[in-house]
């Protein structure tokens, strides 16, 4: 049984997989990787199932020692990373010998990167998933971020394919283009006067420090709404709600399952992974698409991802 | 009686079924029946079902099927829901220490409604509530039956951390925060009861449809429990 030993956990590192759907009626949102695309590609690179559990690092990575030989990848944002002084590039699989220490430093681009290992991380599953739900202390490694001294068991994966896989940077650049986040109208669009809808779509917001996996709080011009209180209803991932102070909140992977603030719009499924790479102080703008366009964009993106991965196989 | 409803997209990955636009026992029963029907015959693309007061949000994987297919599944569940028979309700008592350090917004709620704080406590603990649904955070019960005489608007900016066990009012709704979480409701008290315990099956103490009563306790009794 091989293990990863945490020498330094970094700023905020958690165990994440593809999430825990099917529990919203208990008030439990799916959680899972904030950048699900990076998790999938990272797992693919090391030869795992796409939803195997990985480490999600935030802003500053950690230092980890492996007690056995291991195949790893780093995906998502480009974090400084090295093993015994040799730099590791993101979006590529590496073979590390037993006793190697991987040192991940600060990010050079977005908020998060993923460390995938062949075999995945073996933690007890809570309601069918290894993902950590930080705000309720559930799932993952004891329901909390990793600490110095933690030891994670690496699962077994008997595949023996050669490790020379990498993903092209051109393809990655397209997946993470810094364009406006595309949105569809939300169910309470009518709560907002036309000028407020226009202001929402034409303004730049910036991400506030108190943003997290539950939601991204934005700051920008005040989006006025009519004063009527709505009754609480279900809230989907990526919903953009406007509380009374007129400052948008994007509901993210650990989002509340229901809410009473009106939702002006919703980030489309194809762009959710980009939300996971937003850092405090980053600028955010929104671009409206129709439901039909949102579906087309998502299907095209998925087809491109599949084709790209198949071509490299 | 035929249920009147509206199905609209809330996002490119979810459909919102509205069975009304107000909090009522009738809507609660329709929602419960619909959730029962949706849970008994599942569709592989459906990821989550979010019941609420007068609506159900159905989240699905848009890579697995089109929204129209999920819509048809929901429509047939709506028909099936009319012949669902619901189980008998349980009654559960929740002890609450009102005001002081446990209920920092009790005075604001009293002031908003021109009441004394002990009148707010008497009204809140004198009513019988129904668990309309669990939502917001793990095991959080949305309770129907709060007298409108203690309704108070939500905070303009939600708190980033509300302690576990907090009993709160948001508009004309009341609820209990089972785990520490952000929240915009007015906190009037706190219960020592554990509403969410991940080692239990199911992990939530309260279920949709339960009847709940609040029993006022002093701060000493809170600390003993």
Question: Chain A contacts of B55, Cβ < 8 Å?
Answer: 233-234
Q: How many angstroms from the chain centroid is the CA of residue B140? A: 6
Question: Chain A contacts of B186, Cβ < 8 Å?
Answer: none
- Total Cβ atoms within 10 A of residue B130: 19
Per DSSP bridges, beta strands A181-185 and A286-288 are parallel
Picking from A22, A136, A236, A248 by the largest number of B CB atoms within 10 A of its own CB, the best residue to mutate is A236
Residue A61 has pLDDT above 70, yes or no: yes
Among A27, A215, A269, the residue with its CB nearest the CB of B134 is: A27
Q: What's the pLDDT score for residue A25?
A: 94
Q: What's the pLDDT score for residue B222?
A: 82
B171 to chain A: nearest residue by CA?
A229
CA distance A151 to A72: 17
Structure pTM? 0.91
Binary contact (A24, B22; C-beta < 8 A): no
Between helix A36-46 and helix A291-312 the angle, nearest 10°, is 20
Distances (CA, A) of B62 to A16, A266, A276, A293, B68: 22, 14, 19, 13, 11
Question: Chain B contacts of A126, Cβ < 8 Å?
Answer: 198
Among A26, A256, A266, the residue with its CB nearest the CB of B139 is: A26
- The 3 state secondary structure assigned to chain B is CCCCCEEEEEECCEEEEECCCCCCHHHHHHHHHHHHHHHHCCCCCEEEEEECCCEEEEEECCCCCCHHHHHHHHHHHHHHHCCCCCCCCCEEEEEEEECHHHCCCHHHHHHHCCCCHHHHHHHHHHCEEEEEEECCCCCCEEEECCCHHHCECCCCCCEEEECCCEEEEEECEEEECCCCEEECCEEEEECCCCCECCCCCCCECCCCCCEEEEEEECHHHHHHC
Q: Is the ipTM of this complex over 0.90?
A: yes
Per DSSP bridges, beta strands A13-16 and A54-58 are antiparallel
CA distance A138 to A125: 10
Q: What's the pLDDT score for residue B156?
A: 86
**Least Cα separation, residue B92 to chain A (angstroms):** 17
**Least Cα separation, residue A141 to chain B (angstroms):** 14
Picking from B71, B137, B159, B205 by the largest number of A CB atoms within 10 A of its own CB, the best residue to mutate is B137
Read off the pLDDT band of A255 (50, 70, 90).
very high
Give the tens place of pLDDT for each residue, A37-49: 999 999 999 989 9
Between helix B67-81 and helix B25-40 the angle, nearest 10°, is 120
Residue B204, Cβ density class (10 Å: 0-12 exposed, 13-18 middle, ≥19 buried):
buried
Read off the pLDDT band of A161 (50, 70, 90).
low
Q: What is the mean pLDDT of residues A16-27?
A: 95
**Beta-sheet strand order (sheet of B14-18):** B6-11, B14-18, B55-60, B46-51
Q: What's the pLDDT score for residue A167?
A: 85
CA distance A184 to B214: 42
Question: Chain A contacts of B49, Cβ < 8 Å?
Answer: 24-25
A267 to chain B: nearest residue by CA?
B11
Q: What are phi and psi of A255, to 5 degrees?
A: -65, 155
CA distance B100 to B188: 9
DSSP letters for A209-264 = TT--SSEEEEESS-----SPPPPPEE--TTEEE--TT---EEE-TT--SEE-S-EE
pLDDT tens string, chain B, 225 residues long: the values are 556 899 999 999 999 999 998 889 999 999 999 999 999 988 999 999 999 999 999 999 999 999 999 999 999 999 999 999 898 899 999 999 999 999 999 999 999 999 999 999 999 999 999 999 999 888 989 898 899 999 999 998 889 889 999 999 998 889 999 988 888 999 999 999 999 988 888 889 999 999 999 999 998 888 766
A251 to chain B: nearest residue by CA?
B136
Binary contact (A256, B135; C-beta < 8 A): yes
CA distance A95 to A97: 7
């Amino acid at each position: 049984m091989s293990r990863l030993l945490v020498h330094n956990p970094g700023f905020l590192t958690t165990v994440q997989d593809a999430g825990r759907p099917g529990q919203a009626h208990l008030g439990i949102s799916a959680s899972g990787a904030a950048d699900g695309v990076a998790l999938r590609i990272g797992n693919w690179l090391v030869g795992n199932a796409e939803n195997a559990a990985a480490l999600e690092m935030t802003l500053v990575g950690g230092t980890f020692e492996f007690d056995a030989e291991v195949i790893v990848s780093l995906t998502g944002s480009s974090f400084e990373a090295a093993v015994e002084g040799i730099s590791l590039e993101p979006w590529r699989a590496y073979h590390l010998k037993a006793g190697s220490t991987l040192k991940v430093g600060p990010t050079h681009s977005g908020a998060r990167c993923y460390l995938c290992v062949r075999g995945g991380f073996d933690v007890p599953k809570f309601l069918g998933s290894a993902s950590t739900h930080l705000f309720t202390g559930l799932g993952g490694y004891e329901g909390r971020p990793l600490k110095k001294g933690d030891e994670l068991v690496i699962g077994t994966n008997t595949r023996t394919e050669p490790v020379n896989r990498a993903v092209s940077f051109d393809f990655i650049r397209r997946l993470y283009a810094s364009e406006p986040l595309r949105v569809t109208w939300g169910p309470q669009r009518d709560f907002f006067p036309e000028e407020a809808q226009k202001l929402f779509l034409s303004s730049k917001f910036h991400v506030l420090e108190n943003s997290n996996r539950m939601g991204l709080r934005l700051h920008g011009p005040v989006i006025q709404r009519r004063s009527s209180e709505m009754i609480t209803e279900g809230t989907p991932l990526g919903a953009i709600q406007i509380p009374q102070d007129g400052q948008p909140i994007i509901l993210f992977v650990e989002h509340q399952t229901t809410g009473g603030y009106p939702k002006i719009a919703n980030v489309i499924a194809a762009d959710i992974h980009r939300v996971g790479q937003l850092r405090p102080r980053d600028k955010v703008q929104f671009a409206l698409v129709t439901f039909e366009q949102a579906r087309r964009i998502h299907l095209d993106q998925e087809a491109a991802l599949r084709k790209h991965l198949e071509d490299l196989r | 009686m035929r249920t009147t409803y509206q199905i609209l997209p809330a996002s490119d990955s979810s459909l919102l079924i509205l069975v009304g636009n107000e909090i009522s026992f009738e809507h609660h029963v329709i929602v419960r029946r619909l959730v029962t029907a949706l849970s008994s015959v599942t569709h592989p693309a459906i990821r989550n079902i979010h019941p609420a007061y007068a609506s159900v949000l159905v989240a699905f994987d848009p890579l697995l099927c089109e929204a129209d297919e999920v819509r048809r599944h929901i429509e047939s569940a709506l028909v099936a829901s009319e012949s669902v028979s619901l189980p008998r309700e349980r009654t559960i008592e929740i002890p609450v220490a009102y005001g002081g350090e446990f209920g920092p917004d009790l005075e604001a709620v009293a002031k908003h409604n021109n009441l004394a704080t002990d009148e707010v406590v008497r009204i809140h603990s004198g009513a019988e509530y129904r668990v309309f649904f669990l939502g917001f955070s793990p095991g959080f019960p949305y309770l129907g039956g709060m007298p409108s005489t203690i309704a108070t608007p939500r905070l303009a900016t939600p708190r980033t951390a509300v302690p576990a066990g907090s009993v709160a009012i948001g508009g004309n709704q009341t609820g209990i925060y089972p785990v520490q979480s952000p929240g915009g409701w007015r906190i009037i008290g706190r219960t020592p009861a554990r509403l969410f315990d991940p080692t239990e099956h199911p992990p939530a103490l309260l279920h949709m449809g339960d009847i709940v009563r609040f029993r006022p306790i002093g701060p000493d009794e809170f600390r003993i429990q």
